[in-house]
Amino acid sequence: MLRRAVPPLQNQARISLCTTSQLRTHFSQSFHPGWDANNDSYDYTRGRFLSSEAHEMKVRRVKLNMNELAKSAAESLGFTYSQCARIEKLPDGMFNKAFLFTMQDGTRVVGKVPNPNAGRPHYTTASEVATMDFVRNELSTPVPRVLAWSSKANENPVGAEYIIMEKVEGVQLDKVWPKMDIKKRFELVKTISGYQKAWMSTSFTQYGSLYYSSDLPNSEGCVLVKEDESDFEEHRFAVGPTTGREFFDDGNNVYQYKSAVGLRELACVQNMARLPRSLLGLYGPGTYTPSRPKKIAALQDYLRLLPYFLPTDESISSAYLWHPDLHTENIFVHPERPSEVLGIIDWQSSEILPLFDHARQPYLLDYDGPPATGLDPPEFSKNFDQLDPDEQRKAQSLYLNMSLATLYRKLTSAKNKRLFKAMEFGQTSSFDMMLFAHNLLIDGEALYRARILDIEQEWSSLPGVQASGNQPFPLELSAEDVNCIGEDADGAIEGLELMQSVKESLGELWPEKGIVQPDRYDEAKRLLKKVKTELIAQLAHSEAEKKAWEESWPFDD
């Protein structure tokens, strides 16, 4: 079923109008009905995968009728199908296809189509549309207006879920960020902080994702809580199943939600036909061998310890809606005034979560180096004059990044105390142990259980322990258990170091997240094969060990 989100725009209100001469120059091709002949529009073309490529490509391939998508784009603006003059495929995302549709008068809109790996059918698109509406109109954030959409692939002629939305003006922040001085960067950070403050003006009484009530079965709405703690019923919107890509975690209170994380991981470990291979560590004979029982043990420990990890301050456990991925490609700014934000895109998979799960510095402030944890300015390199020019540039860049992160912390501390309090909880062992548990299906169970041994030493300082009258440590670990946990942790560290050596051997060819540029694929495959041969020759001391290392190698041959 197609949704028309707003009435067609009138001619005088259309966006990005071009002159007639500009149109003649820009559009030399007239519209023709053969858009679907360009089959690579449906495939992932931004990179190649060095691990499980056939599967990774399959979950990123979408079959759709481009003629019908163009028709929907044109009609959302009040044009006819034949007045769509150009379609351009935008760079692939990991979870979506996006197309830029330009009409004959220069008006442009974006069409977004989710890949199969984006999330649950219907829910992923329905939630994104409702979230954009809510954030734009209720939380005063510059978000593209949705013009038309459909969350039911089998009920529309496009044959896929889609969203038609306004084309955000301006440029992506990543195009200008490197040229901005710290003053302009901080002005932008203050703007982003203002939006975060707006997001905290309204909280919810449930965790999950946001939808229109009409898109959920038997939903009568939700309860919203304002800053003054007054609440009211909202019938147009409702909280429903999460669209976070970590499967389905939701609940009516923070314990239910965090329990769902562990139960989700546990169900996957128990039921998946084959455990996924990690790209973080290289595990084999003599290092560490992941197994279902070891992962299950770690997750059961998490579930038993969870009540003691949760913060006792309910204000930082309140449920808020937040942008899931605030990096420089998702922020559009004015090209001449880059501290002026014109739009924030990609609200797919937004979740209503405890504030402490949202509370981190925006991804655009991330950098390689020591994290900014206090409010005092960072120290500049004391031996700066003794460094060579390249090292001086690195030292200056690190100082700039740490200073900006510290300024963000100071601003948050002064203007948004609840968010800062949640950020401070994010620096604790309790938060680390909850966050660590989110990915135990893939990796980390050996080090997680080793970290539990440290938690036993910190036990009295945990929030739930202090609140419950100093309860005893609930896990009973024998001397043999402790010894096995230590051996597994040592082996896991060896595996991480081995993978680090592979990464260093490949240098720029290292497949971050398993992906390389298409033109570097063959070279990366060749070098990986060489590294694999050398490593196995070094590590394997028998045919059985050689076979085991062959089977544990996470990259495709």
pLDDT tens-digit series, residues 182-240: 999 999 999 999 999 999 999 999 999 999 999 999 898 999 999 989 999 999 999 99
Give the separation between CA 338 and CA 84, rounded to whole angstroms. 31
Evaluate if residue 21 carries a pLDDT over 70: no
For residue 530, the tally of other CB atoms under 10 A from its CB is 12
pLDDT for 493-532, tens place per residue?
999 999 999 999 999 999 988 899 999 999 999 999 999 9
Confidence of residue 30 (pLDDT cuts 50, 70, 90): very low
Task: Give burial (CB, 10 Å; 0-12/13-18/19+) of 268.
Answer: middle
Decide which of 13 and 298 is more confident: 298
pLDDT for 42-63, tens place per residue?
899 999 999 999 999 999 999 9
Phi-psi sector, 68: left (phi>0), alpha (psi -120 to 50), beta = alpha
Contact assessment for residue 212 and residue 377, using Cβ atoms and an 8 Å cutoff: no
> Among 115, 129, 105, which residue's Cα sits nearest to residue 46?
115
pLDDT at 119: 93
> Among 294, 292, 283, which residue's Cα sits nearest to residue 549?
283
For residue 88, the tally of other CB atoms under 10 A from its CB is 10
Evaluate if residue 557 carries a pLDDT over 90: no
For residue 313, the tally of other CB atoms under 10 A from its CB is 15
Evaluate if residue 11 carries a pLDDT over 60: no
Percent above pLDDT 90 for the chain? 85
Domains and CATH numbers, the chain: 3-167 (3.30.200.20), 180-207+242-429 (3.90.1200)
Contact assessment for residue 452 and residue 444, using Cβ atoms and an 8 Å cutoff: no
Give the separation between CA 229 and CA 231, rounded to whole angstroms. 6
Confidence of residue 16 (pLDDT cuts 50, 70, 90): very low
What is the chain's mean pLDDT, rounded? 90
H helix or E strand, kind and range, residue 537: helix 521-539
pLDDT at 180: 94
Evaluate if residue 24 carries a pLDDT over 50: no
Angle between helices 479-506 and 445-457 (to 10 degrees): 130
* Torsion of the alpha carbons at 476, 480, 482 and 484, rounded to the nearest 10: -130
pLDDT at 4: 58
- Residue 404 corresponds to which amino acid? L
Evaluate if residue 22 carries a pLDDT over 50: no
H helix or E strand, kind and range, residue 108: strand 108-114
Give the separation between CA 437 and CA 143, rounded to whole angstroms. 33
Give the separation between CA 408 and CA 372, rounded to whole angstroms. 10
pLDDT at 239: 96
> Among 32, 67, 74, which residue's Cα sits nearest to residue 164?
74
pLDDT for 413-471, tens place per residue?
999 999 999 999 999 999 999 999 999 999 999 999 999 999 999 999 999 999 888 78
Give the separation between CA 148 and CA 158, rounded to whole angstroms. 12
Direct distance between the N- and C-terminal alpha carbons of the chain, in angstroms, rounded to an integer? 44
pLDDT at 42: 84
What does the H/E/C string look like for 317-382? CCEEEECCCCCHHHEEECCCCCCCEEEECCCCCCEEEEHHHHCCCCHHHCCCCCCCCCCCCCCCCC
pLDDT at 18: 37
Task: Give burial (CB, 10 Å; 0-12/13-18/19+) of 457.
Answer: exposed
Query: What are residue 98's DSSP bridge partners?
Result: 112
For the chain, what's the residue count?
557
pLDDT at 25: 33
Task: Give burial (CB, 10 Å; 0-12/13-18/19+) of 89.
Answer: middle
Number of helices (H), then strands (E), in the chain: 17, 18
Contact assessment for residue 470 and residue 351, using Cβ atoms and an 8 Å cutoff: no
Give the separation between CA 163 and CA 391, rounded to whole angstroms. 47
pLDDT at 250: 56
Listed as own residue / partner, the contacts of 29-32 with beta carbons closer than 8 Å and 24 or more positions apart are 29/85, 29/86, 30/85, 31/82, 31/83, 31/84, 31/85
pLDDT at 513: 85
**Mean predicted confidence (pLDDT) in 342-351:** 97
pLDDT for 134-176, tens place per residue?
999 999 999 999 999 999 999 999 999 999 999 999 999 999 9
For 364-375, b/e burial (b = at least 16 CB within 10 A) is bbeeeeeebeee
pLDDT for 369-425, tens place per residue?
999 988 999 999 889 999 999 999 999 999 999 999 999 999 999 999 999 999 999
pLDDT at 253: 86
pLDDT for 304-332, tens place per residue?
999 999 999 999 999 999 999 999 999 99
Query: What are residue 222's DSSP bridge partners?
Result: 234
Contact assessment for residue 535 and residue 502, using Cβ atoms and an 8 Å cutoff: yes
Confidence of residue 2 (pLDDT cuts 50, 70, 90): low
Give the separation between CA 30 and CA 202, rounded to whole angstroms. 48
Give the separation between CA 357 and CA 347, rounded to whole angstroms. 17
Give the separation between CA 18 and CA 105, rounded to whole angstroms. 6
pLDDT at 297: 97
> Among 166, 170, 27, which residue's Cα sits nearest to residue 105?
27
